[in-house]
Amino acid sequence: MSVFRRFAPVAAVIAGSLMLQGCLVGAVVGTGAAVVGTGFKVVGAGVDAVTTSDEETRAKRERDQRDYEREQRRCEERQRRGRSC
């Protein structure tokens, strides 16, 4: 009986440490997943900053077309007044 009393605390410490390892692994995996998830969000934001959507492309094309037409009207007005473009 004295052997059991001597090793009972040691067994409890070992069992507790084994259970805590699972908690630590879970915490590390959770932290790693959060870091990876944040990394993907950052990469996604970088991709969004580099690429343009169809709507942005259409809006730019329309602005460029308006600018071109405005310049053409100005050039025609200058030509009517006898000036070069």
Whether pLDDT at 15 is above 80: no
Q: pLDDT digit string (tens) for 17-52?
A: 667 666 655 665 566 656 555 555 655 666 666 777
Predicted pLDDT of residue 85:
80
Whether pLDDT at 14 is above 60: yes
As a whole-number percent, the residues of the chain with pLDDT over 90 amount to 35
Predicted pLDDT of residue 61:
97
Q: How confident is the model at residue 70 (pLDDT cuts 50, 70, 90)?
A: very high
Instruction: For residue 38, give every residue at least 6 positions away whose Cβ sits within 8 Å of its Cβ, in sequence order, or none.
Output: none
5-to-13, 18, 36, 42, 61 alpha-carbon distances in Å: 13, 20, 47, 56, 84
